[in-house]
Structure 1
Amino acid sequence: MRLADAKRDHYRKLARDQGFRSRAAYKLKQINDSYHILKKGHRVADIGCAPGGWLQVAVSEVGSSGKVAGMDLKAVESVAGAAILQGSIDDPAAVNGLIEALGGRADVILSDLAPNISGMWEVDHARQIDLTRSALALARQVLGGGGSAVFKVFEGEFLNELKDEMRKSFAKVLVSKPQASRQESSEMYLVCLNFRPA
């Protein structure tokens, strides 16, 4: 068994044992261990939240004084402590729905969005960056001043352009590759800190 497969199986087993819905939960846990973006009392919006692993982590980090709302195109099984909306992040009503569910603007936006993978690298990269652009547009409307965001991205030719776009709205844009991500995959996360509303 290759090391990457062994690692994937390790996190899958861990998720099963610890009651998380997906091994992706550990990606968010590791990002949060490094950057401490989820705090008690925070309002958190998770877009592209299926199957709910990130919602579970967010709920446990913000505690009973915080609020968590997720949104996905697919129906997502309920997660204790989180509001779940079904809809598209490109729909203007999505913005209002999230702000309403959180009772105000978010402190943190989480986006683990990925397109349906075609296997054609250039196409998948371009689609993923487009999705993240939509997530950024939504974040600009839902985040409160000083807030943080985490966006999944695929490495490739359009990534630097996207980072420049994010720097217009955030004081810091950092690249994170959590241990739970497969090291050979092109997936990484942009951790954006200190949101500056336009």
Structure 2
Amino acid sequence: MPDKKQVLSDFYYREAKKRGYRSRSALKLLELARRFHIFREGDCVVDLGAAPGGWLQVARDFVGPAGKVIGVDLSGIEPLPFDNVYLVKGDVFDPSVDMKIMEIAGGPVDVILSDLAPKFSGIHDLDHARQIELARSALKLAGRIIRPGGRMVLKLIMGSEFDKFLREARRMFQSVRLYKPKASRERSSEIYLICNGLRCLSNQ
């Protein structure tokens, strides 16, 4: 007989499929968006680590046809049937990605989403360090391309570098809140930072 954790995991997987989302993690962003009012109609949103596209779907639903959603990932993403969802195949460590995003956006963006994750080794400290490195790259990108007052959602893995990273985020944003969505697996050490009010645009 499946235990409670398995039942919940299967529920969120089935629910995501039922709603037509490409990933169960789309339900995490949906909860965050409703709880923290991340998106506004007409926003320009960048999703880092966008494959397979579940977060792109959620973001597009919130920003509507007047907004733009730009997905960035190292791997290819199957296109979505919307004229205002754009895909960039590239690495967030590559400076040319900034240029591609800004070219599509036509200027600074309103929101950055980062669900970036390394290839997990199963060694928690190593995985945590690699994920923090990715999150720090996303934070630096935010400092370059988000408009003043803009917003960001970041996934982190809890560990020894978490508090230091949290201080870095709070220096950049006026408000940083922590939340673990219900769709996150109970055993997961992931947590999401919801950042509001970028203090300024600067070379991070």
Task: Quickly name the TM-score band, shorter chain normalised.
Answer: over 0.9
> Residue 98 of structure 2 aligns to which amino acid in structure 1?
V
User: Equivalent of 1:102, from 89, 105, 108?
Assistant: 105
What per-residue deviation string (whole Å, max 9, x for no partner) do you get for residues 64-118 of structure 1? 1111101000011112231000000011111111111122211100000110010
User: Equivalent of 2:168, from 161, 165, 168?
Assistant: 165
Distance, in Å, in 1 between the alignment partners of 2:198 and 2:7 is 38
Distance, in Å, in 2 between the alignment partners of 1:151 and 1:26 is 15
Distance, in Å, in 2 between the alignment partners of 1:115 and 1:195 is 26
Give the share of equivalent positions with the same residue, in percent.
43
Distance, in Å, in 1 between the alignment partners of 2:7 and 2:180 is 18
- Following superposition, which runs of at least 4 residues in structure 1 exceed 6 angstroms of deviation? none
Structure-2 residue corresponding to 1:83: 86
> Residue 116 of structure 1 aligns to which amino acid in structure 2?
K
Distance, in Å, in 2 between the alignment partners of 1:46 and 1:113 is 9
Structure-1 residue corresponding to 2:46: 45
What per-residue deviation string (whole Å, max 9, x for no partner) do you get for residues 136-166 of structure 1? 1111111001000000000011000001011
Normalising by structure 2, report the TM-score.
Answer: 0.95
Q: Does 1:61 align with 2:62?
A: yes
**Superposition CA RMSD, Å:** 0.8
Distance, in Å, in 1 between the alignment partners of 2:145 and 2:47 is 11
**Structure 1 residue ranges without an equivalent (≥5):** none
For the residue of structure 1 that corresponds to 2:121, the secondary structure is: coil
> Residue 34 of structure 1 aligns to which amino acid in structure 2?
R
Q: Does 1:140 align with 2:143?
A: yes
**Structure 2 residue ranges without an equivalent (≥5):** none
- Number of residues paired by the alignment? 198
What per-residue deviation string (whole Å, max 9, x for no partner) do you get for residues 8-33 of structure 1? 11111111111100000000000011
